[in-house]
Amino acid sequence: MGALGRLPLDEQLDALRAALSRNEVLVEVLRRAARLQLPGWYLTAGCLFQTVWNVVEGRSPDAGIKDYDVFYFDGGDLSWEAEDRVIRRAAEVFAGVPAEVEVRNEARVHLWYEEKFGVPCAPHASSEAAIDSFAATTCCLGVRLEAGGKWRVYAPHGLADVFNLVVRPNPVLAPRHVYETKAARWRQEWPALTVLDWPT
């Protein structure tokens, strides 16, 4: 299955959709997230690339997946109360899904990021910009359903590393220890991963 990383890009996109579609929880989260009609939303992060890793390794598609992250971007109201209203509405929409679904407004990240991770974060301009800042380029992947069931895929670093089980650092925002902690946790669950060192 590593050969998927050497397919032409359009075929990689087909292979991505085929792999993700094998995770029934993920597909259900996508469908329900679309109903929320959140601005600039994506299902993103671990649930996507980890589903692919599972499919490549012949495991259950949802094995080892901790949660399902939904990003959206609403810069019109940066209050916690506005985000909390969305989170509460999402909790109703995702009720009964057998997984934890986290919904977050990426326009607010700069308000809490430094306290949590120890480094400042400039305000993001979009959900895509937030995805660009993940600690590993392998994580920089987002999918959403658009009108007519069309899949929109955001993958600024391509898909080859995802299919080839390569974890590559992305030192644009997250500190080194965040990358190394995540990579160590992933390697415990997916021992075949190739984890590249943080640049010095």
pLDDT of residue 1: 47
pLDDT band at 148; cut points 50, 70, 90: confident
pLDDT of residue 19: 96
The mean per-residue pLDDT over the stretch 158-169 comes to: 95
- Residue-range domain boundaries for the chain: 2-195
**Counts of helices then strands in the chain (DSSP H, E):** 8, 7
- The CA distance from 107 to 113, in Å, is 11
2 pLDDT more than 60? no
Nearest partner of 53 among 144, 183, 198, judged by Cα: 183
- The CA distance from 179 to 173, in Å, is 10
pLDDT band at 3; cut points 50, 70, 90: low
pLDDT band at 147; cut points 50, 70, 90: confident
pLDDT band at 8; cut points 50, 70, 90: confident
Strands (E), the chain: 42-44, 68-72, 101-105, 142-145, 151-154, 166-167, 194-195
Q: Across the chain, what does the average pLDDT equal?
A: 94
